[in-house]
């Protein structure tokens, strides 16, 4: 395959669907669904599933439903429903009129359960939870039949009705499918399908005190909605026989096909809702939308774009093998998007004062700067230049190492869009010896950054005019964890030991060019030579601009330094 005609090859799920279409299965319809439980925030792993399900529907003129799998009122909340809808929308997907809730099917589901009982395929079991567990057997030993397994149909019907009526305490009875207590697949050992939970539901209120279990609900919800391909993650493979069993017993007209794929893992972070909740709960991060979190809201606040995330989800592919994608790929995707779309500005993170000795005290020039060299259509802006400037501390070395191209005593560099300057002296703090100011001269002939004599300089620095610049706070983020696999030490809570203590660095005396005065929350910029930053949506205000660093620019100099460190000389 040549580079030109290369295209992402179909994944195994798309292959299955293409095959189904070719034999006119489901009369050519493709209906998928994204079925979150509203018990937490969506993360990038969910984005993979969203892109897959909505993507497949789009590609095949089908539809993708958004269905909340809200069968467990003890864990769910309306708050999550709103955040999930917002995140799916933000990613750029549209479920149209296909917004559903499993709880809307509770009446039908109840009727289906009654049918199952009537067919002798379900029974009310009155064993205690402990006993049920004991009767289930183990991985290597078969289970034992519950003594209630042979309860007459009439009695089951009566009991189930009374469960529904609220006559029994939680846990005293349960409705079970009658399948096979000796099955090597534990899911088939008479799984629970309805439990008593005397608790009000965020959508159905107090109408019910029995709630259906996932295995019973999910397949029937898919069937009710006419889903053709029910795509889920690998851990449900063992549930597929049960998914099919329920639909077969009930003789439904629509029997969707369950297909499983591997969930996403990303290096240097975690994807488990439970563990993410612990990070939030323990204060390791500031919230679900902390820019270090792999949640959709965290990534959004960090400055990631829907395009970047969708591109990422396309590139990682879909397969059945457990894998961990390098977070560098995600970073690559956002850089690529932002390179094309983010306006450039100059901002100095760690200011070093520079006085241009031969520049007139009261003069201010307005210099033209290009907004995005990748896109001339984005135009240009004016940046003020004056006698006193700030440059980046990193951009000056009193004693420059080999391959260091930036400013040093006696050295000449270019100030972007401005002039060539040469360092003639430096001022040190008498106590600490720290360099607190540079004295430079400029060459008036080099206005705009080019010299008539074509002489070269090896570096171009970003800068701001001290008097005109705005103070800003900038938050620098790094990987949340030190280890590519934070779960390395399996013993559960120890993932916290791998937290990166420096995942957040807050800089409070940054200076940015005045054009940012009215930057709106959420807007994205490239700080030239630094990286991509976005105006924080929570903390930025008229009084103080606050920026989050989305991702750094690729940094060749950092690599050179690292290489020199690793093998000196």
272 binds RNA (CB under 7 A): no
Closest to RNA by CB, 38 or 351:
38
Q: How far is the CB of 459 from RNA (least distance, A)?
A: 5
User: What is the pattern of x (binds RNA, CB under 7 A) and - over residues 436-465?
Assistant: ------------xxx--------xx-----
b/e map of 87-118 (b: 16 or more CB within 10 Å)? bbebbebebeeeebbbbbbbeebbebbbebbe
Q: Is 331 a catalytic residue?
A: no
Q: Residue 63: name the closest of 102, 26, 10, 9 by CA.
A: 26
Q: Is 445 a catalytic residue?
A: no
Q: How far is the CB of 217 from RNA (least distance, A)?
A: 7
Q: Is 130 a catalytic residue?
A: no
Q: How far is the CB of 418 from RNA (least distance, A)?
A: 8
Catalytic residue among 14, 25, 37, 161: 37
Q: Are 89 and 150 in contact (CB under 8 A)?
A: no
Alpha helices in 97-149 (DSSP H): 106-118, 129-135
The CB-side HSE value for 484 (13 A sphere, CA atoms) comes to 6
Q: For residue 293, what are the CA distances in angstroms to 254, 403, 425, 479? A: 39, 36, 45, 9
Strand bridging mode 504-512 / 347-348: antiparallel
What six digits make up the tokens of 455?
A: 């002489």
Of 144-152, 155-163, 291-299, 317-325, the segment contacting RNA by CB under 7 A is: 317-325
Q: How far is the CB of 497 from RNA (least distance, A)?
A: 19
Q: From the list 129, 166, 360, 379, which residue makes contact with RNA (rule: CB under 7 A)?
A: 129
Q: For residue 357, what are the CA distances in angstroms to 384, 423, 438, 441, 448? A: 17, 10, 10, 5, 19
Q: Tell me the DSSP string of 52-103.
A: HHHHHHHHTT-EEEEEE----TTT--HHHHHHHHHHHHHTT---TT-EEEGG
Strand order in 435-443's β-sheet? Answer: 460-461, 412-415, 420-428, 435-443, 351-356, 388-392, 463-465
Q: Are 424 and 357 in contact (CB under 8 A)?
A: yes
Looking up tokens 């191209």 gives 405
230 binds RNA (CB under 7 A): no
22 binds RNA (CB under 7 A): no
Q: How far is the CB of 29 from RNA (least distance, A)?
A: 24
Q: From the list 65, 528, 534, 535, which residue makes contact with RNA (rule: CB under 7 A)?
A: 528
Of 40-48, 56-64, 104-112, 132-140, the segment contacting RNA by CB under 7 A is: 132-140
Provide the β-strand partners of residue 124. 175
310 binds RNA (CB under 7 A): no
- Distance between CA atoms of residues 270 and 483, nearest Å: 11
Tell me how many residues contact RNA (CB under 7 A): 98
237 binds RNA (CB under 7 A): yes
User: What is the pattern of x (binds RNA, CB under 7 A) and - over residues 394-433?
Assistant: ---------xxxx-------x-xx----------------
What six digits make up the tokens of 490?
A: 């399996």
- Distance between CA atoms of residues 451 and 483, nearest Å: 48
Q: How far is the CB of 168 from RNA (least distance, A)?
A: 10
79 binds RNA (CB under 7 A): no
User: What is the pattern of x (binds RNA, CB under 7 A) and - over residues 172-211?
Assistant: x-x---------xxxx---xx--xxx-------------x
Of 115-123, 144-152, 292-300, 550-558, the segment contacting RNA by CB under 7 A is: 550-558
User: What is the pattern of x (binds RNA, CB under 7 A) and - over residues 325-364?
Assistant: xx-xx-xx--xx--x----x--------------------
Q: Which of residues 464-523 bind RNA (CB under 7 A)?
A: none
What six digits make up the tokens of 443?
A: 């060459």
Closest to RNA by CB, 259 or 290:
259
Q: How far is the first Cα of the chain from the last one, in angstroms, to the nearest whole number?
A: 43
Q: From the list 139, 283, 361, 399, which residue makes contact with RNA (rule: CB under 7 A)?
A: 139
Of 19-27, 85-93, 171-179, 201-209, the segment contacting RNA by CB under 7 A is: 171-179
Catalytic residue among 14, 85, 197, 273: 273
Q: From the list 29, 85, 98, 136, which residue makes contact with RNA (rule: CB under 7 A)?
A: 136
Catalytic residue among 14, 29, 85, 263: 263
393 binds RNA (CB under 7 A): no
Of 104-112, 279-287, 321-329, 542-550, the segment contacting RNA by CB under 7 A is: 321-329
Provide the β-strand partners of residue 351. 392
Active-site residue set: 37, 263, 273
């Amino acid at each position: 395959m040549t580079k030109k005609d290369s295209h992402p090859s179909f994944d195994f799920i798309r292959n299955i669907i293409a095959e189904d279409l070719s034999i006119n299965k489901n009369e050519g319809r493709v209906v998928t669904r994204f079925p979150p439980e509203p018990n937490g925030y969506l993360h990038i792993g969910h984005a993979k599933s969203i892109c897959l399900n909505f993507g497949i529907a789009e590609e095949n003129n089908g539809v993708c439903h958004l269905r909340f799998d809200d069968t467990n009122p003890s864990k769910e909340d309306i708050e999550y429903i709103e955040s999930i809808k917002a995140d799916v929308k933000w990613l750029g997907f549209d479920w149209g009129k296909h917004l559903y809730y499993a709880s809307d099917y509770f009446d039908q589901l109840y009727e289906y359960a009654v049918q199952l009982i009537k067919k002798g395929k379900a029974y009310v079991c009155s064993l205690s939870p402990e006993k049920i567990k004991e009767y289930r057997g183990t991985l290597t030993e078969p289970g034992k039949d519950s003594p209630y397994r042979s309860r007459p149909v009439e009695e089951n019907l009566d009991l189930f009705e009374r469960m529904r009526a609220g006559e029994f305490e939680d846990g005293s009875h349960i409705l079970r499918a009658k399948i096979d207590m000796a099955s090597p697949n534990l899911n088939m050992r008479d799984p629970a399908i309805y439990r008593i939970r005397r608790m009000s539901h965020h959508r159905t209120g107090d109408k019910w005190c029995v709630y259906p279990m996932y295995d019973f609900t999910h397949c029937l919800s898919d069937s009710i909605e006419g889903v053709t391909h029910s795509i889920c993650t690998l851990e449900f493979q063992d549930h597929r026989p049960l998914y099919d069993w329920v639909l077969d017993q009930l003789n439904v007209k629509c029997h969707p096909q369950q297909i499983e794929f591997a969930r996403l893992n990303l290096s240097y972070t975690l994807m488990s809702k439970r563990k993410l909740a612990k990070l939030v709960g323990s204060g390791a991060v500031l919230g679900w939308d902390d820019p270090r979190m792999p949640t959709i809201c965290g990534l959004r606040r960090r400055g990631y774009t829907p395009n970047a995330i969708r591109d990422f989800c396309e590139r990682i592919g879909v397969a059945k093998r457990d894998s961990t994608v390098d977070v560098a790929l995600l970073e690559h995707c956002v850089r690529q998007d932002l390179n094309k779309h983010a306006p450039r500005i100059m901002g100095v993170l760690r200011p070093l004062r520079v006085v241009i000795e031969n520049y007139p005290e009261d003069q201010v020039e307005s210099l033209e700067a290009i907004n995005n060299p990748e896109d001339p259509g984005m135009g240009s802006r004016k940046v003020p230049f004056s006698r006193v400037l700030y440059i980046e501390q990193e951009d000056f070395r009193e004693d420059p190492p080999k391959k260091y191209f930036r400013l040093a005593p006696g050295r000449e560099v270019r100030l972007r869009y401005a002039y060539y300057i040469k360092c003639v002296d430096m001022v040190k703090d008498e106590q600490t010896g720290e360099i607190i100011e540079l004295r430079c001269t400029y060459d008036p002939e080099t206005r705009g950054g080019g010299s008539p004599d074509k002489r070269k300089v090896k570096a171009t620095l970003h800068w701001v005019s001290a008097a005109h610049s705005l103070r800003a706070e900038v938050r620098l983020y790094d990987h949340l964890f030190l280890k590519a696999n934070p779960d390395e030490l399996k013993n559960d809570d120890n993932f916290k030991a791998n937290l990166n203590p420096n995942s957040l660095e807050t800089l409070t005396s940054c200076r940015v060019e005045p054009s940012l005065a009215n930057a709106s929350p959420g807007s994205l910029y490239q700080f030239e030579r630094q990286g991509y930053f976005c105006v924080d949506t929570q903390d930025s205000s008229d009084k103080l601009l606050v920026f989050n660093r989305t991702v750094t620019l690729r940094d060749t100099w950092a690599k050179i330094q690292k290489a020199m460190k690793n093998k000196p000389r």
